[in-house]
C-alpha cells in the first residue's frame, strides 16, 4: 500500500482515486459546519486479517450529526459501512488503520444565508490511513484542567461531531500543552467534569468505575459505551454514570481517557496531583487489556462489534 496517502477514497458512493477528491478554495468557509467520524480497524496478526470495530455505531452517530446539522446526505448507514469495508480492502491495509469519514457542503458559502438549500446534496468522503494502536503504552499521561469551559448542548452541542466544536477542544488542548501537560480535562457549564478535547474520561474510586453522563457536555462516545458494557458484564465491576467533581478526580484511585483514536490512556496525574501510586492502576490495566483483545478479535466475544475486512 502507498504510505504517503491511500490510493482510493470512498467519495459520494464510489471508490475514487485520491487525486480526484478536491474542493475549490471558496468552499473553505462552509467547512466549519462539516461533520465527521473517527473509526478504527485493528490488524489481527495471527489471523492475518483486519477487523473493523463498531462501524455501525459510528455511522449511526454520523447520521445523527448529519440530521442535527440539517444536512442532505443521501446515503444509508449500510452504504457507509459497506463503503468503509471496500475502501480498506482496495487500499490494501495490512496493519492497524483509522477511518475518517466527513460530510460537508462542497458549495461556496452564500454570505449570511444559513438555511440549507434543499436541492443541494452534501458531499461525503471516507479516508483511510495507517495508524498504529497505542494500547500497550507503559506509562500514564500527566494532565491538567483547562481554564476553558466545555461548550454546552444549548450553545454548540458536543453530541454533534462537527468541526466547529473542535475549536473549543483545540483551545483547551493548546493551553494545557503550553502549560506543560500531555492531556487536557475540561469542566462543563455546571463546573463538573465533562471530558477531554478528544476523549471521554473515566475514574476508579473504591473499586467502582465512574464516568460523567451523556448529558454532561460530552460526545456520546462509542469507546465509553464499550467500556461500560465490558466492565459491567465481563469484569463484573460496578459502573456509575454520574457527575464528577474536579476534586473527586484528584483523589481518584485511577483514571483514564477513552476514545477511538486515543483508545484507553491511563492518567498518571492531574494538575500535578498524582493518582494512586503513579503506576497504571490494576482496573485500568484489566479494562485496557480486555478492550485490546476484543477490538483485535483475539477475544471472540462481542462478535457483533467486529466486521472482518
From the list 15-23, 136-144, 221-229, 247-255, the region that binds ligand PMP by CB under 6 A is 221-229
Closer Cβ to ligand PMP, 8 or 36, answer by number: 36
Which x/- pattern over 19-38 shows residues binding ligand PMP (rule: CB under 6 A)?
-------------------x
- The count of residues in the chain is 309
CA atoms of 245 and 192, how far apart (whole Å)? 5
| Of 106 and 266, CB closest to ligand PMP | 266
**Least distance CB 114 / ligand PMP (angstroms):** 24
Task: Please report how close the Cβ of residue 112 comes to ligand PMP at its closest, in angstroms.
Answer: 29
Distance in angstroms between the alpha carbons of the first and the last residue of the chain? 16
The interface with ligand PMP within residues 234-273 (CB under 6 A) comprises 259-261
Residue whose grid cell is 450553545:
155
Q: Looking at beta carbons only, is 86 or 225 nearer to ligand PMP?
A: 225
Q: What is the largest CA-CA distance in the chain?
A: 59
With 0-12 / 13-18 / 19 or more C-beta atoms within 10 angstroms meaning exposed / middle / buried, residue 277 is exposed
Sign, CA torsion 202/205/208/214: negative
Give the nearer residue to ligand PMP in terms of CB position, either 49 or 163.
Answer: 163
Among 193, 222, 237, 287, the residue binding ligand PMP under the rule CB under 6 A is: 222
Backbone angles phi, psi at 5, to 5 degrees: -160, 160
Q: Which of residues 164-183 bind ligand PMP (CB under 6 A)?
A: 169
- Would you give the distance in Å from CA 32 to the centre of its chain? 18
Per DSSP, the three-state class of 197 is: coil
- Count Cβ atoms below 10 Å from residue 160 Cβ, excluding itself: 20
Residue in 198, 217, 276, 297 binding ligand PMP, rule: CB under 6 A: 198
Q: Are 120 and 250 in contact (CB under 8 A)?
A: no
CA dihedral for 110, 111, 116, 122, sign (positive or negative): positive
As measured in angstroms, the least distance from the Cβ of 120 to ligand PMP is: 27
**Identity of the residue, 65 or 260, whose beta carbon is nearer to ligand PMP in the bound complex:** 260
Residue in the structure block whose three cell numbers are 466486521: 307
Query: Looking at 33, 128, 176, 221, which residue binds ligand PMP (CB under 6 A)?
Result: 221
Nearest CB to ligand PMP, comparing residues 176 and 221: 221
195 interacts with ligand PMP by CB under 6 A: yes
- The binding track of 79-118 with respect to ligand PMP, each residue x by CB under 6 A or -, is ----------------------------------------
Answer yes or no whether residue 152 interacts with ligand PMP by CB under 6 A. no
Please count the residues of this chain forming the interface with ligand PMP, following the rule CB under 6 A: 15
Q: How far, in Å, CA of 119 to CA of 15, rounded?
A: 24
CB of 194 to ligand PMP, least distance (A): 9
The only residue of 33, 87, 223, 284 in contact with ligand PMP, by rule CB under 6 A: 223
C-alpha–C-alpha distance, residues 80 and 62, integer Å:
10
d(CA 251, CA 234): 26
Rounded CA gap, 133 and 108, in Å?
37
CB of 37 to ligand PMP, least distance (A): 8
Q: How far is the CB of 168 from ligand PMP (least distance, A)?
A: 9
Tally of CB atoms within 10 A around 232: 13
Chain residues binding ligand PMP by CB under 6 A are: 38, 169, 195, 198-200, 218-219, 221-224, 259-261
Amino acid at each position: 500500500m502507498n504510505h504517503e496517502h491511500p490510493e482510493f477514497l470512498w467519495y459520494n458512493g464510489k471508490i475514487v482515486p485520491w487525486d480526484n477528491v478536491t474542493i475549490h478554495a471558496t468552499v473553505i468557509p462552509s467547512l466549519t459546519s462539516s461533520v465527521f467520524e473517527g473509526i478504527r480497524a485493528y490488524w489481527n496478526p495471527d489471523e492475518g486479517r483486519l477487523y473493523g470495530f463498531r462501524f455501525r455505531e459510528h455511522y449511526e452517530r454520523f447520521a445523527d450529526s448529519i440530521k442535527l446539522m440539517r444536512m442532505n446526505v443521501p446515503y444509508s448507514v449500510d452504504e457507509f459501512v459497506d463503503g468503509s469495508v471496500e475502501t480498506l480492502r482496495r487500499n490494501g491495509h495490512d496493519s492497524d488503520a483509522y477511518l475518517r469519514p466527513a460530510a460537508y457542503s462542497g458549495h461556496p458559502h452564500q454570505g449570511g444565508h444559513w438555511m440549507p438549500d434543499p436541492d443541494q446534496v452534501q458531499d461525503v468522503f471516507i479516508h483511510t490511513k495507517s495508524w498504529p494502536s497505542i494500547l500497550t503504552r507503559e506509562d500514564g499521561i500527566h494532565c491538567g484542567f483547562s481554564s476553558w469551559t466545555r461548550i454546552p448542548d444549548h450553545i454548540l452541542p458536543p453530541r454533534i461531531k462537527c468541526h466547529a466544536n473542535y475549536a473549543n477542544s483545540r483551545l483547551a488542548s493548546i493551553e494545557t500543552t503550553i502549560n506543560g501537560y500531555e492531556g487536557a480535562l475540561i469542566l462543563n457549564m455546571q463546573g463538573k467534569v465533562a471530558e477531554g478535547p478528544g476523549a471521554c474520561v473515566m475514574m476508579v474510586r473504591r473499586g467502582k468505575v465512574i464516568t460523567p453522563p451523556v448529558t454532561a457536555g460530552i460526545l456520546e462516545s462509542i469507546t465509553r459505551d464499550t467500556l461500560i458494557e465490558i466492565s459491567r458484564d465481563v469484569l463484573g465491576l460496578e459502573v456509575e454514570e454520574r457527575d464528577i467533581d474536579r476534586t473527586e478526580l484528584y483523589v481518584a484511585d485511577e483514571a483514564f481517557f477513552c476514545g477511538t483514536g486515543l483508545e484507553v490512556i491511563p492518567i498518571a496525574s492531574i494538575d500535578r496531583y498524582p493518582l494512586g501510586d503513579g503506576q497504571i492502576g490494576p482496573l485500568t490495566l484489566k479494562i485496557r487489556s480486555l478492550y485490546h483483545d476484543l477490538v483485535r478479535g483475539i477475544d471472540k466475544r462481542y462478535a457483533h462489534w467486529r466486521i472482518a475486512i
